[in-house]
Structure 1
Amino acid sequence: MSETSKQKQIPTTNHEKLIESHLIKTAQILEDTLDEQINRLDNLNDDDLEAIRKLRIKQMKEESKQHSEWLALGHGVYSELSSEKDFFTTCKTSSFGLVCHFYRDSTFRCKILDKHLSLLASKHIECRMVKINAEKAPFLTKRLNIQVIPTLILVKNEKVCDRIIGFDELGGHDEFSTAMLEWRLAIGKVIKYSGDLTVPPDMNKKKKSTCSNLSSITTKLYDNKSMYNKCFDNNNGDDDDDDNQDSD
Structure 2
Amino acid sequence: MASPLQHHLLNTAKQIEMELDQQLDHLDNLDCDDLKVLREQRLREMKELNNKKQEWLKCGHGTYTELAGEKEFFETSKKSNNIVLHFYCDGNERCRIVDMHLKILASKHVETKFCKLNADKSPFLTHRLRIEAMPTIALVKDSKVKDFIVGFTDLGNCDDFSTEMLEWRISQSGAIDYDGDLMQPPEGKRKPYINQPQKTIRDGNHFDDSDIELDD
Distance 1:120 1:62, change over 3 A: same
What residue number does 2:57 align with?
71
Letter in 2 for 1:91: S
TM superposition shift of 1:38: 5.9
Partner SS state of residue 176, structure 1: coil
Quote how far apart the aligned CAs of 1:141 are: 1.0
- 1:100 is aligned, of 76, 81, 85, to 85
**RMSD over aligned Cα, in angstroms?**
1.9
SS in 1 for 2:187: helix
Match of 2:68?
82
Query: Matched residue of 2:213: which SS?
Result: coil
Deviation at 1:164, TM superposition (A): 0.4
For the pair 1:40 / 2:29, whether they are aligned, the reply is yes
Aligned residue among 199, 204, 208 for 1:228: 208
Report the CA distance shift for 1:39/1:137 in structure 2 as closer, same or farther (over 3 A). closer
Question: In structure 1, how many angstroms separate the alpha carbons of the residues matched to 2:124 and 2:25?
Answer: 61
- Show the counterpart of 1:15: none
1:23-59 deviation per Cα after TM superposition (whole angstroms, max 9, x unaligned): xxxxxxxxxx899646513xx13x3332222211111
Q: Supply the distance in 2 between the matched residues of 1:72 and 1:61 (Cα, whole angstroms).
A: 17
* Structure-1 separation of matches of 2:99 and 2:122: 18
| Paired AA for residue 65 in structure 1 | N
| Cα 1:83/1:48, change in 2 over 3 Å | same
Question: Counterparts of 1:37 and 1:164 in 2: how far apart (Å)?
Answer: 42
- Please give the secondary structure, in 1, of the residue aligned with 2:212: coil
Q: State how 1:67-216 maps to structure 2 within 5 Å.
A: 67-95=53-81, 97-204=82-189, 211=190, 214-215=191-192
Aligned residues: 188
Q: Distance in 1 between matches of 2:35 and 2:145?
A: 44
SS in 2 for 1:155: strand
User: Relative CO higher for 1 or 2, CA cutoff 8 Å, sep ≥ 6?
Assistant: 2
Q: 5+ residue gaps in structure 1?
A: 1-32, 205-210, 238-248
TM score, norm. by length of structure 2? 0.81
**Could you state the TM-score of these two structures normalised by the residue count of structure 1?**
0.71
C-alpha distance in 1, partners of 2:94/2:27? 54
Q: Which runs of 5+ in 2 are unaligned?
A: 1-21, 200-206
* Over 2 Å off, 4+ runs: 33-39, 47-50, 223-228
Q: Aligned residues: percent identity?
A: 44
Higher relative helix content: 1
Partner residue in 1 for 2:43: 57
